[in-house]
């Protein structure tokens, strides 16, 4: 025998009175009514206006907010955190000495202190306001009142909450009517199901999934490896149609990606024969010299030497090498025979002299010394080590160096001599001439008697840095 169990009938929830709503059509009437509500001793009530009303705070008896104190505390906390963080990082955890500066200094910390104080103060103002006003509130049963919709237009309201200790449905209702409102009505709690609508839940679920997909994809990509390039939303110049260096290509018949220089051509403005004295230090190019008189001949010698050595290797016969002294003498004789210039190819000015002094101290003083005596720091260190591989630079003040024409000095800087390397690829031609000018000034300074210099010239020399 089956028994039937009757399910209890679900009774609909009874609505609960939440408060009373009084409507006014004049702001002055609302302010006067607010004063009477305040004086009557009510504590849990509020006013609603379409625009701010001056004097409503005093009429309602609203006390000063503690928000400024919250902002001040957050600002002080930000400054304290900034000072502590910079002290810990710079003076304790990882002290680093920079030019003798202190590891921790209050003036150096001020920018970070200011920024973090303002940041936390702004957070305190924003979130403190939300907390004190119990926001956000997405819904209030008072919104169901048709009359209350005009609170954003042309009506003014006082809402009395039933949770107030002095609230009474009858007495409070009579009190509100004594304030001469245009209307007084009750607002009740909702009795509908608290469940969210199905469409709303579906929409929120889709939004939640979409929000999670981005961080999940980023986490996946960061935790895995791939041989493919990253996705570039903004291309900039990361991907160009140009080919990679040293690669092959089918565009040109020789298959080379890097194109060789075209024979017989030179870049615009770089034809050195336009100003032979400036670029070569020569009055003219001798007939037996190429455009680059020294470098090209050296390359030809190297090629001829390599060819002879290859033939000797093939025949297994030793090659006789000339003595080093004979080669050096031949080279010096060849350089002496060239038509070097004796006048500067550039206007000599104080600016040129100052530039030459600067360039000389950068490139030359390390070996030749500040005075040109061949006692630079590199030379002193090399002579101290006594390793036998260092040749002390010649002094600029010896008689044979003083007699060299300025074109020959320029050539020495350009192409080097003995152990001195060539600086032609590092120093522009104009700067090489400024160095030569300063070098000649150093030489001249040793040949002048101080007694022959006037007092004015002595004063200029003392003031010159």
Listing DSSP states for 114-175 in one string gives HHHHHHHHHHHHHHHHHHHTT------GGGG-TGGGGGGTT-EEEEEETTSTT--HHHHHHH
Q: Mean pLDDT, to the nearest integer, of 358-363?
A: 92
Q: How many CB atoms lie within 10 A of CB 21?
A: 22
Q: Mean pLDDT, to the nearest integer, of 90-113?
A: 90
Task: Sketch out the chain's domains with CATH numbers.
Answer: 17-188 (no CATH), 274-318+332-463 (1.10.760.10)
233 or 355, which is more confident? 355
Q: How many CB atoms lie within 10 A of CB 241?
A: 4
Q: Mean pLDDT, to the nearest integer, of 354-374?
A: 90
Is pLDDT at 277 greater than 70 in this prediction? yes
Residues 404-449: pLDDT tens digits?
898 888 988 988 887 788 888 889 989 999 999 999 888 888 877 7
CA distance 171 to 169: 6
What is the three-class DSSP state of 401?
helix
Is pLDDT at 391 greater than 70 in this prediction? yes
CA distance 401 to 295: 23
């Amino acid at each position: 025998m089956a028994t039937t169990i009757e399910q209890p009938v679900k009774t609909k929830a009874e609505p609960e009175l939440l408060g009373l709503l009084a409507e006014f059509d004049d702001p002055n009437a609302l302010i006067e009514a607010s004063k009477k509500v305040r004086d009557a001793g009510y504590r849990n009530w509020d006013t609603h206006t379409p625009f701010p009303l001056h004097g409503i705070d005093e009429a309602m008896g609203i006390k000063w907010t503690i928000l400024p104190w919250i902002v001040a505390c957050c600002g002080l906390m930000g400054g304290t955190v900034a000072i502590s963080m910079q002290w810990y990082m710079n003076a304790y955890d990882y002290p680093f000495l920079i030019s003798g500066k202190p590891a921790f200094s209050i003036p150096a910390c001020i920018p970070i202190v200011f920024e973090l104080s303002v940041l936390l103060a702004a957070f305190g103002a924003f979130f403190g306001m939300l907390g004190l006003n119990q926001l956000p509130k997405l819904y209030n049963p008072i919104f169901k009142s048709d009359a209350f919709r005009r609170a954003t237009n042309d009506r003014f309201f006082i809402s009395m909450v039933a949770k107030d200790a002095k609230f009474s449905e009858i007495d409070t209702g009579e009190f509100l009517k004594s304030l001469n409102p245009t209307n007084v009505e009750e607002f009740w709690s909702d009795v509908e199901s608290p469940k969210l609508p199905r469409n709303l839940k579906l929409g929120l679920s889709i939004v939640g999934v979409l929000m999670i997909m981005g961080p999940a994809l980023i986490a996946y990509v960061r935790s895995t490896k791939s041989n493919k390039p990253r996705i570039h939303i903004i291309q900039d110049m990361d991907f160009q149609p140009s080919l990679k260096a040293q690669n092959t290509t089918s565009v040109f018949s020789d298959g080379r990606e890097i194109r060789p220089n075209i024979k017989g051509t030179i870049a615009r403005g770089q034809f050195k024969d336009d100003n032979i004295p400036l670029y070569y230090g020569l009055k003219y190019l001798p007939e037996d010299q190429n455009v680059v008189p020294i470098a090209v001949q050296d390359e030809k010698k190297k090629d001829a030497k390599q060819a002879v050595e290859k033939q000797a290797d093939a025949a297994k016969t030793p090659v006789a090498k000339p003595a080093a002294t004979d080669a050096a003498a031949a080279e010096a004789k060849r350089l002496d025979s060239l038509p070097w210039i004796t006048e500067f190819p550039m206007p000599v000015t104080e600016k040129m002299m100052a530039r030459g002094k600067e360039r000389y101290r950068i490139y030359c003083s390390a070996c030749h010394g500040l005075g040109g005596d061949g006692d630079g720091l590199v030379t002193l260190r090399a002579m101290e080590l006594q390793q036998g591989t260092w040749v002390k630079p010649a002094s600029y003040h010896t008689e044979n160096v003083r007699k060299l024409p300025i074109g020959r000095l320029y050539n020495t800087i350009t192409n080097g001599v003995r152990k001195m390397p060539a600086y032609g690829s590092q120093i522009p031609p104009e700067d090489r001439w400024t160095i030569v000018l300063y070098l000649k000034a150093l030489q001249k300074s040793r040949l002048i008697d101080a007694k022959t210099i006037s007092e004015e010239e002595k004063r200029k020399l003392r003031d010159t840095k």
